[in-house]
A and B are shown apart, each in its own frame.
Chain A
Amino acid sequence: MDFQLTKEEQLIQGAAREFAEKEIGPAVEEIVSSNRVPEEILAGLRELDLFALPVPEVYGGAEAGYVCYILAMEQIARVCPGVAVILSVNNLAAAAVNIFGTEEQKKRYIPQGTRGDTAFSFAFTEPGTGSDPKQLAATAKKDGDHYVLNGTKRFITNSSYRGPIIVFARETETDQVNAFILDKFCEGYSVSEPWNKMGVKGAPLHDVYLRDVRIPAENVLGGLGKGFWILKVAMALGKIGISSIFLGAMLAAYEDGLRYAVEKTHRGEPIAKFQAIQMAVADMFMKYESCRWMTYRLGSLAERAKDKGDILKDSAATKIFVTETAVDVARISMGIHGSYGVMEDYRISRLWKDVIFGPQVEGVSHLLKVLVAGEILRK
């Protein structure tokens, strides 16, 4: 077992860190206040291939593997989690097309996930169901060699960007849940105003309205009746991105707490000289390190898994642990900051609003724990 990163991994981590600090850092205030990422930042991410890390080279990606993906996402999220969320959703949907798509679908859609001016969306959640596929209400009605889609999808990332969207809908005749791929802003596609979310700004969430959206029958992804399988794989891969993002936010909270502990003085001494603060520093370090290696290991598992759905238990467990620990670390860091920790002038207050998102999205912790336990007990 070798816990050393390869030189390539170090360089990719370094490139993402340098870009995040130089290009994203100065724009964070604007990103948070506008809830949008400036186009030049998206273009910069594209130039560095950060839009297309695990995507195969033949479709315009970098084919870098999931460990590199995690390392880069952690560094981007360390500076601005919202920017990383755009990449995460884009990558999980592009990966689903790569795994389940026909050659024609791959050639047409995957490159749109690598260009930076278009991005993938993934639409499962609805107003009536968050994580229960049985409650899915969106419909797909067969009409000759076409399907007609109707329904509302909730909290959809990247839905205001042009590009492809994967939509889950129930076929009216067979009652099967299928995945469809289509272009956003086609006739019948519209989005709501963005939800006024409290953190992870820069990646706005909209509801997506599908009103008599007519698409060719060949736009079914992965074949009829494969909807649940695609969902399982996408959930497994999506949690790699989410774990990396909240690992990065946790790292930022840890670094802020550490810096404050060393710089803030009380009676002429840095507060880091006090044992209470030392306990907090040690706690942050232990929590970050355990999450870091758990997430990197998940990347390694994803690279080796033939069926990416097989890593769902580990992926869900990592997501639960990392997102909940990120809240712990931000809380500890806030504690080190004292009253300054709740002042918006200090970054930790923004990080708190970011990390609190983690356990609530991409499957809430309670639901995922049931899923993890189910997988363990089945064996």
Chain B
Amino acid sequence: MRIAVAMKPVPDLLQIRMKDRRPVLEDVPVVLGAIDRSALEIAVELKEKTSGHIVVLMAGDGRLEDTVKEALAAGADEALLIRDARLNGADGSLSAHALAAGVRKIGPVDLLLFGEGSTDNYSGQVMSRVSEILGIPQAGYVRDIVVEGETLIVTRSLEDEEEILEIRPPAAFSVLSEIREPRIPSVTAILKARKKPATVLSLDELGVGTGSGAGVETVSTLAPMTGRKGERIPSLEELVRVLRKEAPGGGA
């Protein structure tokens, strides 16, 4: 089984400070998105069961070679890195055109995996857009994938129920973080990752024209305001009354 996993380089959330309700991204290291790591983990499991091959796709405007090493250490076999200044702050549309062109470039794949959303913007659109561009079936909220002969048995986790689908490849899925816990790569795997092939191409080299450009303008991203009321409550009875009032569905 030939599997492509789209992984987005994102700022390390644990190292972001907030200033004036905006994230300070200077000097924050770039890492792989948490849910994308889970997508890679299920890909590695399927690869091991089917003697498959995994290609990681990554698109961005920065230096991607270092970031992708984590994915190559965690079990991917090779990488296609799409690096272009136009991808700076790209919306879902441009990212999807870039990744779809990447998939075409690497040749036929049976399975195209995404995290359910990236840990920075979490728009959750890219998988659907890519599958539409490529004209292949799609499923979101996937929490398990099992290969049975020529068929993929996919479990989707919906709000009140689970849906089990039988899908014939090729198909694109976005997965939930609980699908698998990402492995910790061994030292040997980390050191061997530097020898795995990683091809770098620009949008022009992939034939992604300027017409595929951004259609969304992000006006502002602000952290929610939080504050403490600092109320003094004189008695236990009053505290119970206030808590009841403040509780969700208040006053019950």
Contact = CB atoms under 8 A, between A and B. Distances in A.
A49 B187 CA distance: 6
B69 A12 contact: no
Interface string A7-22: 1101110010011001
Across the A-B interface, the 10 shortest Cβ-Cβ residue pairs: A49-B187, A62-B187, A7-B66, A11-B190, A49-B186, A48-B186, A62-B188, A15-B184, A49-B188, A18-B184
B128 to A, nearest CB: 32
Contacts of B190: 8, 11-12, 15
B36 interface: no
8 contacts: A7-B66, A8-B190, A8-B193, A11-B190, A47-B186, A48-B184, A49-B187, A64-B191
A34 B71 CA distance: 38
Interface residues of A, number: 20
A333 B33 CA distance: 35
A48 B29 CA distance: 24
Name, among B73, B186, B190, B194, the residue most crowded by chain A CB atoms within 10 Å (CB to CB).
B190
A72 interface: yes
B70 interface: yes
Contact of A62 (B66, B184, B191, B194): B191
A218 interface: no
Contacts of A15: 184-187, 190
Contact of B69 (A7, A47, A50, A57): A7
Interface string A38-51: 00000000011110
A53 B187 contact: yes
Contacts of A64: 187, 191
Interface string B214-246: 000000000000000000000000000000000
A72 B187 contact: yes
Contacts of A110: none
Interface of A: 7-8, 10-12, 15, 18-19, 22, 47-50, 53, 57, 62-64, 68, 72
A19 B191 CA distance: 18
A7 B186 CA distance: 14
A59 to B, nearest CB: 13
Interface size class of B (residues with CB under 8 A): 10 to 19
A63 B187 CA distance: 9
B29 to A, nearest CB: 8
B69 A11 contact: yes
A19 B66 CA distance: 22
Nearest to A19: B184
A63 B193 CA distance: 14
A11 B186 contact: no
A63 B185 CA distance: 15
Interface string B156-188: 000000000000000000000000000011111
A237 B29 CA distance: 32
B187 A68 contact: yes
Contact of B70 (A11, A50, A72): A11
Nearest to A51: B187
A8 B184 contact: no
A220 to B, nearest CB: 32
A33 to B, nearest CB: 26
Contact of B187 (A18, A22, A48): A48
Given A50-B187, A53-B187, 11 more contacts: A8-B190, A8-B191, A11-B69, A11-B185, A12-B187, A15-B184, A48-B185, A49-B186, A49-B188, A62-B187, A72-B187
Contacts of A48: 184-187
Contacts of B66: 7
Nearest to B194: A8
Contacts of B194: 8
Contacts of A62: 186-188, 191
A11 B188 contact: no
Nearest to B73: A11
Nearest to A48: B186
A53 B66 CA distance: 21
Interface in B62-79: 66, 69-70, 73
A248 B203 CA distance: 45
Contacts of A53: 187
A48 B189 CA distance: 9
Contacts of B193: 8
Name, among B66, B73, B187, B194, the residue most crowded by chain A CB atoms within 10 Å (CB to CB).
B187
A62 B191 CA distance: 8
Contacts of A8: 69, 190-191, 193-194
A145 B188 CA distance: 40
